[in-house]
Amino acid sequence: MDPNTSDTDWPTVQTMKDTTGRYPALWSIWSTWGDRATRNFPGTGTYPNKNADKAFMAHLKANHITPVIVWQPTDAAQSGKYRNQQVIAGKFDPYIHQWAKAAKAYGSPIVLRFAQEMNGAWNPWGPGVFIGNTSSSYIKMWKHVYKIFRGAGGEGATNVKFLWSPFQPCGDADCVPYSDVWVGDKFVDYIGFSSFNWLTRPKPGEPVRPWRSMVDAYKTAYKKITALSHKPIIVAESASNRVSSGSNTQAQWIKDGYPAAYKAYPQIAAILYFNINMKGSGDPQQANWMFTPAAVQAYSALLTNKHFRGTLP
Query: Taking all residues of the chain, what is their mean pLDDT, rounded to a whole number?
Result: 92
The pLDDT of residue 309: 86
Confidence of residue 92 (pLDDT cuts 50, 70, 90): very high
Instruction: Count the domains in the chain.
Output: 1
Nearest to 65 by CA among 8, 25, 105, 29: 25
Query: Is residue 33 one of the residues assigned to a domain?
Result: yes
The pLDDT of residue 6: 77
The pLDDT of residue 2: 44
Q: What are the tens digits of pLDDT across the range 41-73?
A: 998 876 667 778 889 999 999 999 999 999 999
Query: Is residue 243 one of the residues assigned to a domain?
Result: yes
Query: Is residue 292 one of the residues assigned to a domain?
Result: yes
Query: Can you name the residues that pair with 138 across neighbouring β-strands?
Result: none
- The CATH number that applies at residue 210 is 3.20.20.80
Q: Which of 86-95, 124-133, 202-211 has the lowest mean pLDDT?
A: 124-133
Confidence of residue 236 (pLDDT cuts 50, 70, 90): very high
Query: Is residue 313 one of the residues assigned to a domain?
Result: no
Domain containing 285: what range?
10-308
Query: Is residue 195 one of the residues assigned to a domain?
Result: yes
Query: Is residue 2 one of the residues assigned to a domain?
Result: no
The pLDDT of residue 172: 60
What percent of the chain has a predicted confidence (pLDDT) above 90? Answer: 77
pTM for the whole structure: 0.96
Q: How would you class 85 by CB atoms within 10 Å of its CB: exposed for 0-12, middle for 13-18, buried for 19 or more?
A: middle
The pLDDT of residue 46: 66
What are residue 269's phi and psi, to 5 degrees?
-100, -25
Query: Is residue 78 one of the residues assigned to a domain?
Result: yes
Structure letter (DSSP) for residue 307: G
Burial string for 72-84 (b: 16+ CB within 10 Å, else e) reads bbbbeebebbbbb
Query: Is residue 1 one of the residues assigned to a domain?
Result: no
Q: What is the average per-residue pLDDT within 182-197?
A: 98
98 vs 2: which has the higher pLDDT: 98
Spatial CB neighbours of 158, under 8 Å, sequence gap ≥ 6: 104, 150
pLDDT score of 188 more than 50: yes
